[in-house]
Amino acid sequence: MGKKLKVAVIGGGSSYTPELIEGFIKRKSELPVSDIYLVDVEQGREKLEIVGNLARRMVASAGLNINVNLTMDRREAIYGADFVVTQFRVGGIDARIRDERIPLKYDVIGQETTGPGGFAKALRTIPVILEICKEIEELAPGAFLINFTNPSGIITETVIKYTDVKVIGLCNVPINMVNYVAKVFGVEMDRVYIQFAGLNHLVWGLKVYLDGEDVTEKLIERLISDDDATMKNIPGLKWDKALIKSLGMLPCPYHRYYYMADRMLKEEKEKAATEGTRGEVVKRVEKELFEIYKNPELAEKPEQLEKRGGALYSYAACNLMSSIVNNKKDIQVVNVRNNGAIADLPEDVVIETNCVIDRNGAHPLNVGRVPAKIRGLMQVVKAYEELTIEAGVKGDYDAALQALTIHPLVPSAEVAKRILDEILDANRDYLPQFF
């Protein structure tokens, strides 16, 4: 099995952490983890203690010899690590709520990772991820950074362009799409293969295979005829049948924000006025979760964690680590440098696609050119991402304004400027690059 592994989890006090611990427990025979360092910031100390104690109970209950270390010292956590997993949220859940509410004031969709909300989150996260990468370069130069911090594609691309860290970006949307298709056909997940191409939270299933047979058309038929075939993580809105038929491929749940923007905006505004934004709902869910986590009898991941929206996260993260450690050369869907895999995008940007995973990391399979019906949206959102990275790294106001101006969900340059100015003002404490 080789050496014992040290894993550092940055944002270790996250409500998602038990999901990750469960993943390590399930893969104990192939992933020889000896030390897990859960690290967080001072404001997250209480959550870290609660989650850390649950993690220790889970490990003990599974009879595993894994040391779960809780620390506020990021350098100690990173030193000599084999994997650094990032799942942190700069500014906490209150910053997310602001990200959702500011755009809504201007009749623009307010969402955590898509549009102006995702833009604000990226600007806050970029300075922190660059600090973390400096520490990895110094203290664990051989480590793989597995980035789950959103917006995952933008953060991963920042690391690739501005550091020497070996990074792979991860998201649970593709694996949930595979799971969804498996449920539609009533089969196990490992019998389904989807050819993915696109960007994080903007990925399409170009072709869908069941046991090696192309069932894309059958799936489209099923989606058109079945009223219940809606994806769970962005609830409540059915896909337009004519849209799905004309698209002829599987959109990801986040495509609703683009393909059905008017309906999504209307629903968001109604919810914000009644039960609150998604961030406000999550804040309540988290409060409940941490009360459950405190129970000294609890020694497994509670089912209430499903409500939080991170389903199959640990499956994706632990699969990825295992394939690197064991040089499996299997295929997984991750965020990786394009290197010409999608011919319609620059070489040096990050895409989300099927990759071969081995001990050296992730290697994208060639996609070639994509159909015109998805190419335009993909290219303009990628240009927005490139400008957001430039703004986030350099504190460049002009790049920031252009990023929001060209985003498909922002109606005009004037609205872009008003939203930008309010975002910068509301996040002043987290944006050293601008102030």
Catalytic residue positions, numbered: 254
Q: How many residues in total does the chain contain?
A: 435
Q: What is the dihedral of CA 168, 318, 325, 50, to 10 degrees?
A: 100
Is 258 within 8 Å of 409 (Cβ atoms)?
Answer: yes
Locate tokens 């409940």: which residue? 288
Quote the tokens at residue 19. 């999901």
Dist CA 235 CA 238 (whole Å): 9
**Cis amide linkage into residue 346, ω under 30° from 0:** no
CA–chain centroid gap for 276, Å, is 23
For residues 90 and 128, the answer to whether their CB atoms sit within 8 Å is yes
DSSP three-state, residue 108 = coil
Burial of 63 (C-beta count, 10 Å sphere; 0-12/13-18/19+): exposed
d(CA 351, CA 333): 10
Specify the DSSP element, H or E, that contains 340. none
The DSSP string of 354-418 is EEEEETTEEEEPP-B---HHHHHHHHHHHHHHHHHHHHHHHT-HHHHHHHHHHSTT---HHHHHH
Q: How far is CA 1 from CA 5, 30, 33, 113, 269, in A?
A: 11, 8, 11, 38, 53
Omega of the bond leading into 364 within 30 degrees of 0 (cis): no
Task: State whether the Cα torsion 343-348-351-353 is positive or negative.
Answer: positive
Nearest to 295 by CA among 70, 63, 50: 50
DSSP 64: -
Q: How far is the C-alpha of 178 from the C-alpha of 181, rounded, in Å?
A: 5
Residue appearing with tokens 């209950």: 61
